[in-house]
Amino acid sequence: MTLSETPANPRYDGLVAPPYEPTGNVAGATAEQWVRSHVDELRGKSSLLRGPFERVHVFWLAGMSCDGCSIAVLGATAPAVESLLTGSVPGLPLVLLHHTAVQVEAGEAYMEPMRQAIDGTLGEPYVVVYEGSCANEDKLSRGYWSAIGEEVDPAGAKVQVPSAVWLRRLAPKAAAVIAIGTCATWGGIPAAINNVTDSMSVADWLGPEYRSALGLPVVNIPGCSPIGDNFTETVAVTLLFLQGVGPAPELDELGRPQWLFGETVHRGCTRAGYYEEGTFAEKFGDKECLVEIGCWGPVVQCNITSRGAINHMGGCMNVGGACIGCTMPGFPDRFTPFYKAPPGTLISGNGARILGSFVRPLRLITQRKLNRETRWDRPGGVTPGGWGADHSTTTFDKVTDKFYDFLRHRGAHGTTKKAG
Ligand code: SF4
């Protein structure tokens, strides 16, 4: 029996919303009322909007999470969260975010829009973002692992409703469900072997047949923490699709945006040249390739080396950290023990070391030639002195230069050969 065929826990059937108590609403208004009164007025003067929807709600739910994904998204710059929340990205609807960390209202005032979304009375489309893994709340006969809000059971007792149950309620009518971070996309650390929560990914929790109201499978943005830009960019692409002005986001077979996760870390790594020449770091802090001290970059799909962590800066290998595979479905169990050379290094690393022992000296010879002006090598040419520079040419240099020039010009046409 697959998970989607598992009957949902009857504990959460027949619950009703508690009486409305605007507790904690110190602002005297909901976040939505604030946005409508301040931002809508500004947007009314612009012509940024394209498409049928002026606003879209985003319900951000947290399961077995450390909140690192929320922090990562706050650092996004392309586009920035502020741009999405003020509707200042051309073509995109304004995003009304419902997030426990930034909301001005609390209690039932916070829960009300979620209930409207489930009832179909929200009046505007919505997207669900899920951070953290889904603990298997169906297995519990009492208590919960991760919950948000309360409801009243038929006996009048208040029951905390798990985040994963809210996800199951909201998902069918959602324009899209986006799983952010490795816990939500693949289960992550809470789902590691021997965990007691039977945690799993959003896609495992909703089942393989799940499709959103727009026909999308769960969109997965992995990473621990994920790159904030990967998330905001995917949200922007999804909203353009919602507006009917862009194509559906191109996802790979695991629901990852193809354009973000189609390449390996290694291909964009600033240390890849060291790997190719077979020189490897022996300890953290060395400048060379980190594969022999535990970098899995050659097989891990992630764009951290090219995109950076925040504002195109930082990112694991760029700042000296070895890739431990945090974006991959096999993380963490299939990458442990961390900081130990992956088995494949035996072949690829040693192969690079052998090839590099030939290539590096040849490149040094070529580099030495390219560090000389042609003027300096003419008869009577003089090499100006530089601090510590050695510009003298040896007989070996002259012989290798002749041979190199012969290869360089071989097959060339026109004036190139004469120019020398
Ligand atoms: Fe590849 Fe890692 Fe070495 Fe970078 S540090 S070149 S990702 S193996």
Task: Specify the higher pLDDT residue, 364 or 2.
Answer: 364
CATH class for domain 263-379+393-409?
A: few secondary structures
| Residue 280 Cα: closest atom of ligand 1 | 3
E strands, 212-292, are: 219-221
Mutate to test the pocket of ligand 1, among 288, 323, 327, 340 (most ligand atoms within 8 A of CB): 323
Q: How far apart are CA 220 and CA 231, in angstroms?
A: 9
The mean-pLDDT minimum among 173-177, 187-191, 384-388 falls in 384-388
Under the banding of pLDDT at 50, 70 and 90, the label for residue 390 is low
Q: What is the mean pLDDT of residues 98-126?
A: 92
Q: How far apart are CA 96 and CA 55, in angstroms?
A: 7
Protein residue with least CA distance to atom 1, ligand 1: 266
In our burial notation (b when 16+ CB lie closer than 10 A, e otherwise), range 299-312 reads: ebbbbbbbbbbbee
CATH of domain 3-259: 3.40.50.700
Distance 298 CA to ligand 1 centre (A): 6
Distance 274 CA to ligand 1 centre (A): 8
Protein residue with least CA distance to atom 6, ligand 1: 272
What is the distance of C-alpha 346 from the center of its chain? 30
Residues with CB under 6 A from ligand 1: 265-266, 269, 271-272, 275, 289-291, 295, 297-298, 317, 323
In the predicted structure, residue 420 carries a pLDDT above the cut 60: no
| Residue 291 Cα: closest atom of ligand 1 | 8
pLDDT digits (tens, 9 = 90+) for 62-96: 999 999 999 999 999 999 999 999 888 888 899 99
Protein residue with least CA distance to atom 8, ligand 1: 291
The mean-pLDDT minimum among 9-23, 54-68, 138-152, 263-277 falls in 9-23
In the predicted structure, residue 138 carries a pLDDT above the cut 50: yes
Block residue for tokens 């690192």: 68
pLDDT digits (tens, 9 = 90+) for 180-236: 999 999 999 999 999 999 999 999 999 999 999 999 999 999 999 999 999 999 999
pLDDT more than 70, % of the chain = 89
Distance 367 CA to ligand 1 centre (A): 24
Taking residue 378's Cβ as centre, other Cβ atoms within 10 Å add up to 9
* CA dist list (Å): 141 to 15, 134, 137, 254, 283: 16, 16, 9, 32, 50
Q: What is the mean pLDDT of residues 261-275?
A: 97
* CA dist list (Å): 195 to 136, 138, 172, 189, 200: 11, 16, 29, 9, 11
Distance 280 CA to ligand 1 centre (A): 9
Q: What is the mean pLDDT of the chain?
A: 89
Block residue for tokens 């961390």: 338
Residue 267's pLDDT is what?
96
| Residue 275 Cα: closest atom of ligand 1 | 6
Task: Specify the higher pLDDT residue, 140 or 202.
Answer: 202
Under the banding of pLDDT at 50, 70 and 90, the label for residue 378 is confident
Q: How far apart are CA 222 and CA 202, in angstroms?
A: 12
Q: How far apart are CA 29 and CA 167, in angstroms?
A: 26
Distance 224 CA to ligand 1 centre (A): 18
In the predicted structure, residue 46 carries a pLDDT above the cut 60: no
Protein residue with least CA distance to atom 3, ligand 1: 289
| Residue 323 Cα: closest atom of ligand 1 | 2
Distance 354 CA to ligand 1 centre (A): 18
Q: Quick check: 170 and 162 in contact, CB under 8 A? A: no
155's CB contacts (< 8 A; 6+ apart) are none
Which residues make up the CATH 3.40.50.700 domain(s) of the chain? Answer: 3-259
37's CB contacts (< 8 A; 6+ apart) are 29
Q: What is the mean pLDDT of residues 4-24?
A: 74
Q: How far apart are CA 279 and CA 356, in angstroms?
A: 8
| Residue 295 Cα: closest atom of ligand 1 | 2
Task: Specify the higher pLDDT residue, 3 or 330.
Answer: 330
SS3 of 225, please?
Answer: coil
The long-range contacts involving 402-411, CB below 8 angstroms and separated by at least 24 positions, are: 404/365, 404/366, 404/369
Distance 291 CA to ligand 1 centre (A): 6
Residue 20's pLDDT is what?
72
- Using CA atoms of 301, 302, 306, 311 in order, give the dihedral in degrees to the nearest 10: 170
Residue 269's pLDDT is what?
97
The sheet carrying 55-62 orders its strands as: 94-98, 55-62, 126-131, 176-180, 219-221
Distance 258 CA to ligand 1 centre (A): 21
In the predicted structure, residue 1 carries a pLDDT above the cut 50: no
Which residues make up the CATH 4.10.480.10 domain(s) of the chain? Answer: 263-379+393-409
Residue 103's pLDDT is what?
87
In the predicted structure, residue 140 carries a pLDDT above the cut 80: yes
Mutate to test the pocket of ligand 1, among 279, 280, 290, 303 (most ligand atoms within 8 A of CB): 290
In the predicted structure, residue 4 carries a pLDDT above the cut 60: no
Distance 321 CA to ligand 1 centre (A): 10
SS3 of 221, please?
Answer: strand
Of 51-55, 151-155, 218-222, highest mean pLDDT: 218-222
Task: Specify the higher pLDDT residue, 332 or 374.
Answer: 332
pLDDT digits (tens, 9 = 90+) for 34-43: 677 666 665 5
Q: How far apart are CA 238 and CA 58, in angstroms?
A: 12
Q: What is the mean pLDDT of residues 365-372?
A: 89
Distance 73 CA to ligand 1 centre (A): 26
Q: Is the pTM of this model over 0.85?
A: yes
Under the banding of pLDDT at 50, 70 and 90, the label for residue 389 is low
pLDDT digits (tens, 9 = 90+) for 283-340: 999 999 999 999 999 999 999 999 999 988 999 999 999 999 999 999 999 999 999 9
| Residue 289 Cα: closest atom of ligand 1 | 3
